[in-house]
Amino acid sequence: MKFFVDGADVQEIKALSEIGMVDGITTNPSIIAKTGKNFFKVIEELCALTQGPVSAEVTALDAKTMIQEALKLRTIASNVCIKVPLTEEGLKACYELRQKDIMVNVTLCFSALQAIMAAKAGATYVSPFIGRLDDIGHNGLHLIEEICQIYDQYPEFSTEVLAASVRSPFQIREIALMGADVVTAPSSIIRSMVKHPLTDKGIVDFLKDWEKTGQSIL
C-alpha cells in the first residue's frame, strides 16, 4: 500500500519522508489557502519533496477550462497529478488528459458506479471519500470494499483506488485489508500508526535491564 500525505505543511511532510512514509502528496484549494502562500509556489515546494505524484486540483467546472488549468499546473513539475471532480465534465477532462499521458486523480467519489465511470475514463487514481460518507450515516469503508472487488473483476482497469477523507488509523488498517492501492491521510494520522502502549512499555523495561549491567555500546 502506498501512503500519500494529505496536506501542505512542507516541514511535516519532509519529516515523514525521512522514514519512508511519503509515496505522494494530495492537496486541494482549501488546504493550500490555509497556508497563506501562493498556490503555484506551494505546489512547487511539495513536488520537490517527493518523486511520487502531487495532486493539484483544478478550479474550473467545464472540461475545456479544466484542461487549460491542468496544462498550466503541469508546467510546475513533471510529477504534478491533476485532480478533477467526478462529474461528466471532469470525466471528459480526465479522458482527454490521459490521452496526453498526464496523471489524473478523479476526486469526490461517493459510489461504486462513479468509480466504474472513472476507470472507464482512464483515471490514474479514483478518490472515494470515506469520512464524508460516514458523516451522513453511510459506511465509507464498505465503498472501498465494493470498488476494490469491482476493479479486481476487470484487469483492463488500471485505475488505482486512493482512499481519501480518512479519519483514523483503524480505517487505514481496514482499507489495507480490503486491498486499496493508496491511502491519503494527514501526517498526524500516519504518525499515530507507529504508537502502541506495549512498544513504549517494552522500551522502558529494556532500558532498565540494560542500565543494571553498567555497560555502554559506545
pLDDT given for residue 30 in this prediction: 87
Q: Which of 34, 83, 92, 208 is catalytic?
A: 83
User: pLDDT of 103-129, one tens digit each?
Assistant: 999 999 999 999 999 999 999 999 999
- pLDDT at 127 (0 to 100): 98
Confirm whether 83 is a catalytic residue.
Answer: yes
CB-based contacts of 36, cutoff 8 Å, min separation 6: none
Sign for the CA dihedral angle at 89, 81, 23, 125 comes to positive
Residue with cell 500519500: 4
Helices marked H in 56-168 = 63-73, 88-99, 112-120, 130-135, 140-153
The whole model's pTM is what? 0.92
Reported confidence tier of residue 29, pLDDT bands at 50, 70, 90: confident
Kindly report, residue by residue over 39-96, the tens digit of the pLDDT: 999 999 999 999 999 999 999 999 999 999 999 999 999 999 999 999 999 999 999 9
CATH 3.30.930.10 is right for the domain spanning 2-213: no
- Taking a C-beta distance cutoff of 8 angstroms, is the pair 58, 81 a contact? no
